[in-house]
Chains A and B, each alone.
Chain A
């Protein structure tokens, strides 16, 4: 698969370059926000991480449905890879969100003011449950099947969780309106570029990880054939 690795290489270089530009934009190009000061710069990476976290989960949903319909092992590899990458970015979103909350509201975990922090954490729990389910199951086929079903159910619960957490917060008026952060055109451009960069990075990582997953499968297949042959010839 030489064509495969060419695309992977290209994407890797593109992601790296894009991230360099993004770093420059976030720290040097974007103007300092009026009310929050420099700590607002976390926003660019925080929201981008959260976006990738949700997008990765969506990819897992699609891959899960595709696996159930086609039975093709490749789809399961995509689903698992997406979950692993998603966990990384979601964890980053939780940590950056907490740091930002501490800086803005002097609280590491403001349940009332920031329902989105709660939502991202539940996303993380869903991801971890997915991995735990796979870890405690025997047999590749059953693992893939059950994980796909769980991925579907888990993803469908996210909109409900989002709504319920939002409404629950709605009874307590937000003292500090973060939406009041006015984005100048320069900040908006930086933000959109960061979103793009993180999405590009996600796909790069996904390609790498799925390639790794396929190679793992091949190794398993070879091991089995080897042990069968050795067992056969006495």
Chain B
């Protein structure tokens, strides 16, 4: 089997099992909605122009939902020793990394795809725009790239639910800043040329952290 086929096999396994139970997806969606509603209420009382804080709220929601997904994705693997089964399969550890990463990317994107229209309605903003979707994709790749590695680390600790946010958030802060800046810029009608350096920054972050995570993943999964 080629590298790509093995990766897709892992992705397929994750997608099929999620389609059958829909546990993770539904809990993520409900959580994202709750976060948005809470923010909506907290700011509504004090902030005149909700558009100002919308980018921040959007990306905090995405960050929290991603953390939920990353933890659940690895947690389901620890049941029934699925993780050991994965490691016993005759393949390069990097395959497991990319397989899990793509799976995470797909699931987080799916929730984002559902959250975005609801967010647009709640905040009365037009968010379904190509530049914005590209930004959201780049940001999500960043979350998934680092998150897959760190969630694999966190799942071995005693306080796995708490550990992932503690490890992840300081590291993905540049992604959140960049993505929120671009989102805000697009909503404000800023020309894309002026936001280009942020987008290049996101691409750079994604590439570098995909490489670093891929290279160090080996050391995390050896027994």
Contact = CB atoms under 8 A, between A and B. Distances in A.
B86 to A, nearest CB: 18
Which of A126, A146, A148 has the largest count of B CB atoms less than 10 A from its CB?
A146
Which of B149, B157, B205, B222 has the largest count of A CB atoms less than 10 A from its CB?
B157
Interface stretch (B54-62, B67-75, B211-219): B211-219
B167 interface: yes
A92 interface: no
The secondary structure that dominates the B interface is helix
A153 B171 contact: yes
Interface stretch (B8-16, B19-27, B76-84, B172-180): B172-180
Interface string A160-189: 110111011000000000000000000000
Contact of B213 (A68, A138, A153): A153
Interface in A106-137: 122, 125-126, 129, 132-133, 136-137
Nearest to A161: B174
B153 interface: yes
A160 B157 contact: no
In this complex, the interface size class of chain B, counting residues with CB under 8 Å from chain A, is 20 to 34
B153 A160 contact: no
B153 A156 contact: no
Contacts of A168: 177, 181
A84 B59 CA distance: 33
B220 interface: yes
A142 B152 CA distance: 13
A5 interface: no
B177 A164 contact: yes
Given A126-B170, A160-B174, A153 B201 contact: no
Given A136-B158, A167-B197, A148 B174 contact: no
A129 B174 contact: no
Interface string B167-203: 1001111100110010000000000000001100100
Given A129-B167, A133-B163, A164 B158 contact: no
A6 B163 CA distance: 41
A70 B168 CA distance: 27
Interface of B: 146, 149-150, 153, 156-159, 163, 166-167, 170-174, 177-178, 181, 197-198, 201, 204-205, 208-209, 212-213, 216, 219-220, 222
